[in-house]
Structure 1
Amino acid sequence: MFQRVYPSQGIGYEVTCAAAGTVCRNPPTALKLNGQRITSQYCQFHACRQVEGGRACPNAKLPRAVVCSQHIRCQAVDNGTRCNLDVKDGNSALYRYCMPLHLCTLPGCEAQRTWHNGQDLAFCHEHRCEYDDCRNHKDTGPFCKDHTCDDTHCIAFAQGVDPEDPQRFCERHRHCQKPQCRRLCHVRDNGQPSPFCGAHYCEAPDCEAEREGGSHCRDHACAEQGCLEGQESPGSGYCKKHTCKTRNCRLRRLGKDYCPYHECVYGGCEAEAMEGGFLFKGQHTSYVKTATTIDEAVVDEQNEAHDSVNTIFARSVTVKTQRLLRSNSALVTSVLCQNVTDPGKLQSTDLPRAMLTDSFATDTAVDKLAATTRLRRDQAGA
């Protein structure tokens, strides 16, 4: 770069300031950096105070400025474009970033603020709360006060909610969500905390509801009145003690082990019915089939038709009624058992029509039951 030189008495030519656009006869100055002297081509009034790569800035500054126009601008680059704003207070010796957009807002910090997901978080990485898009500065730990556990001396994360909410504490110090309960939350075997303490949490896996009376919540407790046990499997409705022992059956037990659909209806027998859904156990099926009347062939044919109708009807009414009217399951079962074992005592009005219409049984099925009942009564009278 061209430098003006002027004659000096007894010395010859002397190098002067190289500032363009003016006639400056001041000698070049030297900048000091870490105890080293770095010579600039400009005088003390025009030399930019920035040093890059061990060399003084090649650009001149205005006499009253600290740095040149290039270094007084914010050093931040957004999407490949450099910011056009000036650094804070125009003092590039202390600051590299502009105050409105890029300088950390914590007083005294000179670092660049953080942006996350296109959002200005106001603080630099060192000073901002580490929770997601939180715009607060750190407290004593890695999170702000709103996201720090309220327990004394604990700096673990806690969800930012109302001050009185149980989740104001970390997982280790979280309090039970039961009103007025100050116990710590129960931690499951898999390490996950429950929203409730050991006295109020539901024991069903991954359930976050409150227990009621027993060890499970309403959705996971046995539907049997007075039973405090949990359901044998989710959605089964009953505990192991009250669920039919037949594989994959979720209906309520009627007698000792089985539901009306799977228990032999022969008087006094509590064994499982035959495979295929017949209402009698194997040995009692043989006994029924060997019973004879005056016209064995005719009676057997009538019995077979009667059993087929009642079997289908018993299954449909019993299963559907258990789902809709669990409290009346014993009544439904007793009426159905009378229909098969002692048809002479059954009246079509013994099973309330309201209960039948509440199930998926149709009026045709009801009429079939009444017809077969009259047929048996007529046979007995004959």
Structure 2
Amino acid sequence: MHCCHFDRHCQHQRFGVARTCYLHKCADANCVEPKQTAGQPPTIFGNLYPIWTTGQFCEKHTCTVFACQEKKGRDQLCAAHTCLVRNCKGQASTEFPGIGLCSEHRCKIEDCSQKRAAGYFCQQHTCRKTDCKEQAKTEGRGAGYCPCHYRKRRKRRNAGGWGGMAAGPYGNENVGGSDSSDSDDGAGFGYPHLVW
């Protein structure tokens, strides 16, 4: 009888042309290689126990992400770790399970799992000004714009005497008083944290 060569403790007959039995053969139907192993067989009370397998596939058919035991899809990664962007070979983030985007295609804002629109940010975190790819504020005054375009927009409004401004003896004045978040130096212009 031709016994399984997976380890010396397995007494099952080899499967077809494989060197191992059906239980220790790679789960890929067209593969005859043995499954990946967990390394050294455990010794308990001085007795050597059979080698433990770590997954259902051989090394060639197992995802290359550390500790992942799923079958490789295209390239070297399983479906869960493959970036969904066409022809991208990057590893999808495990920080946001289910989104399927690698760090090159995900928005750079911390805790944002959206796909980048242009530049480094998703549509929500990119300035609304045409062709601007800078980070936009997401709440409060100036929401939707980068500091530069928000200040330009505010200056245009102020020059026309509209947008909450009233003409006073010294030019346009803010009717509601000063607002530190509107200062030209960008102070108070809050942004979410970036992930680089």
Provide the TM-score with structure 1 as the length reference: 0.32
Question: Which amino acid letter does the alignment assign opposite residue 58 of structure 2?
Answer: C
Between the two proteins, what is the percent identity of the paired residues? Answer: 19
**Residues in 2 aligned to 1:272 and 1:183: alpha-carbon distance in whole angstroms:** 50
Q: Does 1:237 align with 2:90?
A: no
In the alignment, which residue of structure 2 is the partner of 1:178?
A: 28
Inter-CA distance 279–152: structure 2 relative to 1 (3 Å threshold): closer
Inter-CA distance 217–152: structure 2 relative to 1 (3 Å threshold): closer
TM-superposed deviation, 1:150: 1.7
- On the 8 A contact 1:237/1:250 being kept in 2, the answer is no
**Residues in 2 aligned to 1:219 and 1:242: alpha-carbon distance in whole angstroms:** 15
**Residues in 2 aligned to 1:178 and 1:244: alpha-carbon distance in whole angstroms:** 36
**Residues in 1 aligned to 2:159 and 2:83: alpha-carbon distance in whole angstroms:** 50
In the alignment, which residue of structure 2 is the partner of 1:289?
A: 154
In the alignment, which residue of structure 2 is the partner of 1:194?
A: 55
- May I ask how many residue pairs the two structures share in their alignment? 146
More contact order relative to length (CA 8 Å, sep ≥ 6)? 2
Question: Which amino acid letter does the alignment assign opposite residue 232 of structure 1?
Answer: S
Question: Which amino acid letter does the alignment assign opposite residue 180 of structure 1?
Answer: N
Question: 1 or 2, which has the higher helix percentage?
Answer: 1
Q: Does 1:168 align with 2:21?
A: yes
TM-superposed deviation, 1:188: 6.6
- On the 8 A contact 1:216/1:229 being kept in 2, the answer is no
**Residues in 1 aligned to 2:28 and 2:64: alpha-carbon distance in whole angstroms:** 16
TM-superposed deviation, 1:168: 3.2
Measured against aligned partners, the alpha-carbon deviations of 1:229-284 in whole angstroms (never above 9, x if no partner) come to 22122323201111111001111111121111111222333221125382111222
In the alignment, which residue of structure 1 is the partner of 2:9?
A: 155
RMSD over aligned CA atoms reads: 3.7
Measured against aligned partners, the alpha-carbon deviations of 1:77-100 in whole angstroms (never above 9, x if no partner) come to xxxxxxxxxxxxxxxxxxxxxxxx
Question: Which amino acid letter does the alignment assign opposite residue 288 of structure 1?
Answer: R
**Residues in 1 aligned to 2:121 and 2:147: alpha-carbon distance in whole angstroms:** 16
SS of the residue 1:288 aligns to: helix
TM-superposed deviation, 1:181: 1.5
**Residues in 2 aligned to 1:157 and 1:276: alpha-carbon distance in whole angstroms:** 67
- On the 8 A contact 1:185/1:195 being kept in 2, the answer is yes
In the alignment, which residue of structure 2 is the partner of 1:251?
A: 114
**Residues in 2 aligned to 1:225 and 1:175: alpha-carbon distance in whole angstroms:** 32
**Residues in 2 aligned to 1:166 and 1:209: alpha-carbon distance in whole angstroms:** 22
TM-superposed deviation, 1:227: 1.6
**Residues in 1 aligned to 2:110 and 2:26: alpha-carbon distance in whole angstroms:** 39
Bigger Rg over Cα: 1
Inter-CA distance 157–257: structure 2 relative to 1 (3 Å threshold): farther
In the alignment, which residue of structure 2 is the partner of 1:36?
A: none
Measured against aligned partners, the alpha-carbon deviations of 1:171-202 in whole angstroms (never above 9, x if no partner) come to xxx3322222223333479x862322232212
- On the 8 A contact 1:245/1:257 being kept in 2, the answer is yes
SS of the residue 1:291 aligns to: helix
> Of residues 131, 134, 145 in structure 2, which corresponds to 1:271?
134
In the alignment, which residue of structure 1 is the partner of 2:72?
A: 211
SS of the residue 1:252 aligns to: coil
- Structure 1, unpaired ranges of 5+: 1-144, 302-382
Provide the TM-score with structure 2 as the length reference: 0.58
TM-superposed deviation, 1:292: 3.5
- Structure 2, unpaired ranges of 5+: 40-51, 165-196
- On the 8 A contact 2:4/2:11 being kept in 1, the answer is no
